[in-house]
Amino acid sequence: MLTHAAFVLTGPAHGRRFAADATYETTGQAKPVIVFVHGFKGFKDWGHFPLVADYFAGEGFVCVKLNLSHNGMVIDGCGDLEDLDAFGRNNFSIELDDLGQLLDALHAPGTTPVPAAEMNLTRLYLVGHSRGGGLVLLKAAEDPRIKAVTTWAAVADFDQRWPAAFMDEWQRTGRIHVPNARTGQQLPLDYQIVEDYVAHRARLDIPHNVRRKLKQPLLLIHGDQDETVAVAAAHALHELKPDAELLLVPGATHMFGGAHPWNNTDLPQPARYIAEQTAAFFHRQL
């Protein structure tokens, strides 16, 4: 029987509360831990992600998911993106620090509801989807506690290299908006995300960190019909780390068959396939 344990963390720098949860089978035996990181416009309970956590738990892992603190979700809120001001104030440094705070919490007994006896933190793994894939690559490059990484449809760079005229206008106005096709919302992005990237480029440059600092085993998974992050991103990451495993999924799109809401009790077939491949990859990391 699966245990689902929810908890809340508060960022020490920004003071914002953000939700996380753990899914596992209570056995009294230490199990490897998977931390799952959502992407841009995503959240921990988007679509089929809870079923992914259930699958990993059934395969003998503790699966921990989190809402990055400025992703637009609100504790005890509507269950979807609603705090658009926080969304606009998000940046990559905040997200990396949120993930680091969660990892620290897992290593501090009593900070999360997961008993220390249930977790084998010498086998700590990360999975990231889309922009979350970029985050887990960067976090693994700076945190040796992480023993292996899998990316699902990951971006290969946070630098979008937009035209100079666009960047000048964004800097002048301070804010742009991007559409959320699913909800019809116009989601704000404040120019501070650019300033943060420039100020902390050594930490946030994915190609540099994957090439120079990422030592852990890496599995790159990408759908060959991805409409959001082109499959070329997976090839670019593989070139940066040639010893990584590369799995291209025929016919799979960005969400690997999932949608929000997801009312089926089973994982979409492409998502189940990549979950199986991810679990098998982590089980090989002895």
Q: Where are the chain's structural domains?
A: 2-158+202-283
Our CA angle for 166, 168, 174, nearest 5°, is: 95
- Shortest CA distance to 229 belongs to which of 201, 253, 213, 202? 253
- Shortest CA distance to 124 belongs to which of 4, 205, 30? 30
The residues facing 176 across adjacent strands are 189
* pTM reported for the whole predicted model: 0.98
CATH architecture of 2-158+202-283: 3-Layer(aba) Sandwich (3.40)
Residue 105 contacts residue 64 (beta carbons within 8 Å)? no
Provide the 10 A C-beta neighbour count for residue 185.
18
Per-residue pLDDT of the chain (286 residues; tens, 9 = 90+): 999 999 999 999 999 999 999 999 999 999 999 999 999 999 999 999 999 999 999 999 999 999 999 999 999 999 999 999 999 999 999 999 999 999 999 999 999 999 999 999 999 999 999 999 999 999 999 999 999 999 999 999 999 999 999 999 999 999 999 999 999 999 999 999 999 999 999 999 999 999 999 999 999 999 999 999 999 999 999 999 999 999 999 999 999 999 999 999 999 999 999 999 999 999 999 8
Q: What is the pLDDT of residue 286?
A: 81
Encoding tokens for residue 246?
Answer: 């590369």
Q: What is the pLDDT of residue 147?
A: 98
Compute the distance between CA of residue 128 and CA of residue 136 in angstroms, rounded to an integer: 6
Cα 222 to chain centroid, rounded? 15
- Shortest CA distance to 223 belongs to which of 153, 126, 151? 153
Compute the distance between CA of residue 62 and CA of residue 75 in angstroms, rounded to an integer: 23
What amino acid is encoded at 277 in this protein?
Q
